[in-house]
Amino acid sequence: MATPTPSVKAVRGTRDLLPPETALWARIEQTARDVFARYGFGEIRTPIFEATELFARGVGEETDIVSKEMYTWEDRARAQSEKAQSLTLRPENTAGVVRAYIEHKLGETGAPQKLFYIGPQFRRERPQRGRYRQFWQIGCEVLGPQSSGSESPVRDAEVLEMLATLLDELGVKNWKLELNSVGSSEDRKRYNAALREALAPVKHQLNEDNQRRAETNPLRVLDSKDPADQAIIAALPKIADYLDDDSRAHFAAVLAALDACSVPYTANPRLVRGLDYYTRTTFEFTVPDGSGLGTQNALLGGGRYDGLSEMLGGPKAPGIGFAIGEDRLVLTLQAQREALEPRTLNLEPKLDAYIAPIGAERNAAALALARELRRAGLSVEVGDGTFRLKKSFEAADRVARHIVILGEDELASNTATVKTFATGEQVKVDRTKLIDLLRT
């Protein structure tokens, strides 16, 4: 016996998003667009792949993302005018946005650029609930020349306040904002040196990854989730003690502005985040256990990146931004579903009408009627004239509020027979009255 051909499956860590869940995705994206518009953000769409060097320089060679999670390939030259080049599927969007800012000289407008994006990102992580190899981010970036006020703590607080508003409007319950200051790059140098020194006598007790990090990027050790490392981490120096006066004042001003807006937060001196471009304010929004995310409880993360533009060869352009993990937002909202308004829960709203032609010879007339109704703004499904009436009624009841029966009689008299499922009422109406009836 021939072995059956195995079917092709979606690649590990990727998944299909299907209706009705996609309606929730669309609602989230629409709410985000509405909120961002109120805060003066415009949309940017950057390419899905970029030169590998962008992420190596922007995100940092020593980060997990760049050192082991990127999808990178050698793109061969296909014409004399092309060069062979190392390309990478974007693992995040901030580096791409800053590249575009530099490339299009957006700083020359003198105003801060307020940009948002919604799109897929790619990281070769170990897949689990809330962690995928293709995942979606909804993000914002505010950046501009210093003279535009892009370095002001007001920008940080405004971005955080906007996130609090967005999560509230989406109906996310019990979110928690944790923030920290990782200081200027000078502060970080001093802190890294202090960490290296403090780690030297104890690093052999850390897990293998952290032993390496203790050398290459000691800040990352703070991020360890390994329970066995926690006692050592708790005893390490705190970054707050290494901030210079400017960084300290900046952070205090961010917290004061959050207090003034009544946005609740928790200062977490261990929050360092996994990308190298951060300076000063860094933050994460998390949801409690049991909110559908398993161990991946960071709904979103972000922070300031005052030196990133220069790292990429651009002008000085301080900035701050965040990216929400949209997959995680969906999981959270599904788990917290009872918090949503009934309207938003109805992910599969019924169509206005299902047209049931009686006999295959009425199919064309049914499609013509559907065209007329749809152009009038109604949502319509068309059945098939070969169905028995009982089957049409069952199909209609599943998807629509009304069934419109189109038989020989109805066509001859320019009428339609309409049954409204909610009331059980059935009437024959003139075609001129049909649209009004179906809207009820």
Q: What is the DSSP string of 391-407?
A: HHHHHHHHHEEEEEEE-
Give dist(CA 200, CA 424) in Å, integer: 78
Minimum CB separation of residue 95 from ligand HAM in Å reads 8
Strand order across the beta sheet in which 113-122 lies: 42-43, 113-122, 134-143, 319-325, 298-304, 279-286, 176-181, 266-267
Give the start-end residues of each E strand in 287-337.
Answer: 298-304, 319-325
Q: Measured from the CB atom, is 302 or 357 closer to ligand HAM?
A: 302
Q: Measured from the CB atom, is 300 or 370 closer to ligand HAM?
A: 300
Considering only residues 133 to 152 of the shown chain, the ones binding ligand HAM according to CB under 6 A are 135, 137, 139, 141
Q: Helix, strand, coil shares of the chain as percentages rounded to 5?
A: 45, 20, 35
Beta carbons of 91 and 55 less than 8 angstroms apart: yes
Q: Is 123 in the site for ligand HAM (CB under 6 A)?
A: yes
Per-residue binding string, ligand HAM, 73-112, x by CB under 6 A, is: -------------------xxx------------------
Q: Is 116 in the site for ligand HAM (CB under 6 A)?
A: no
Q: Measured from the CB atom, is 322 or 354 closer to ligand HAM?
A: 322
Q: Measured from the CB atom, is 123 or 362 closer to ligand HAM?
A: 123
Minimum CB separation of residue 117 from ligand HAM in Å reads 9
Give dist(CA 143, CA 141) in Å, integer: 6
Considering only residues 227 to 286 of the shown chain, the ones binding ligand HAM according to CB under 6 A are 274-275
Minimum CB separation of residue 100 from ligand HAM in Å reads 14
Among 87, 298, 429, 437, binds ligand HAM (CB under 6 A): 298
Q: Is 132 in the site for ligand HAM (CB under 6 A)?
A: yes
Give dist(CA 210, CA 237) in Å, integer: 16
Written as six digits, the tokens of 281 are 């304010």
Among 183, 292, 302, 307, binds ligand HAM (CB under 6 A): 302
Give dist(CA 440, CA 435) in Å, integer: 9
Minimum CB separation of residue 135 from ligand HAM in Å reads 3
Give the contacts of 88 (CB within 8 A, at least 6 positions apart): 49, 50, 51, 52, 54, 55, 70, 71, 72, 73
Q: Is 60 in the site for ligand HAM (CB under 6 A)?
A: no
Q: Is the dihedral of CA 106, 110, 116, 122 positive or negative?
A: positive
Minimum CB separation of residue 65 from ligand HAM in Å reads 7
Instruction: Using the rule CB under 6 A, give the single segment among 23-31, 76-84, 182-190, 323-331 that binds ligand HAM.
Output: 323-331
Instruction: Using the rule CB under 6 A, give the single segment among 31-39, 203-211, 316-324, 403-411 that binds ligand HAM.
Output: 316-324
Site of tokens 């007339």:
365
Minimum CB separation of residue 45 from ligand HAM in Å reads 16
Instruction: Using the rule CB under 6 A, give the single segment among 74-82, 260-268, 315-323, 361-369 that binds ligand HAM.
Output: 315-323
Instruction: Using the rule CB under 6 A, give the single segment among 30-38, 81-89, 146-154, 319-327 that binds ligand HAM.
Output: 319-327
Give the CB-nearest residue to ligand HAM. 325
Q: Measured from the CB atom, is 112 or 385 closer to ligand HAM?
A: 112
Q: Which CA distances in Å does 211 have to 62, 218, 229?
A: 14, 9, 11
Give dist(CA 141, CA 61) in Å, integer: 22
Q: Which long-range contacts (CB under 8 A, 24 or more apart) does 100-109 make?
A: 100/44, 100/46, 101/143, 101/309, 101/314, 101/317, 102/309, 102/312, 102/313, 102/314, 102/315, 102/317, 106/144, 107/144, 107/145, 107/314, 107/315, 107/317
Q: Is 301 in the site for ligand HAM (CB under 6 A)?
A: yes
Q: Measured from the CB atom, is 309 or 415 closer to ligand HAM?
A: 309
Sites of contact with ligand HAM (CB under 6 A): 92-94, 123, 125, 130-132, 135, 137, 139, 141, 274-275, 298-303, 305, 321-323, 325, 327-328
